[in-house]
Amino acid sequence: MKKVISTTAAPKAIGPYSQAIEAGGMIFLSGQLPIDPATGTMPEGIEAQTRQSFANIKAILDEAGCTVDHIVKTTVYLADMSLFAPMNEVYAQQFSGAFPARSAFAVKELPKQALVEIEVIAVKA
């Protein structure tokens, strides 16, 4: 059985998908663009966009009763691999313990011309 996780503290889905799904004790978050849910805008620069994507992730995880400590896997999509180092610096600041497994890819383009999109899988434990 799956449960839809949704919060107004993160941007609404911009297509036919859910912010997150809980199934079997796992939380699957859709990719989070760096959209400020209060204004509908994106900050400029990879560092600010990475922070905003994580703010959205944290809001959805909170709605699911989890924190970043529950994240076991992340996937980072970048508009350009030249953005990897500054993204990685902000990314590292989001975790206090063991880092989750991660994949990072450069893609041809992200929705709304974002520089970064991050999706995560968390486990309730």
**Residue 16 burial (CB count, 10 A):** 5
Bridge partners of residue 123, in order along the sequence: 26
Q: Give per-residue pLDDT as tens, 71-117.
A: 999 999 999 999 999 999 999 999 998 999 999 999 999 999 999 99
Report the number of distinct structural domains present in the chain.
Answer: 1
Query: Hey, is 38 helix, strand or coil?
Result: coil
Burial of 18 (0-12, 13-18, 19+ CB in 10 A): middle
**In this structure, what CATH number is given to the domain that contains residue 50?**
3.30.1330.40
Put simply, whether the predicted model's pTM sits higher than 0.75 gets the answer yes
Predicted confidence (pLDDT) per residue in 50-67, tens digit = 999 999 999 999 999 999
Strands 71-78 and 116-123: antiparallel
Give the helix ranges, DSSP H, for the chain: 46-63, 84-92
For residue 18, give the DSSP letter. Answer: -
Domain range for 9 is: 2-123
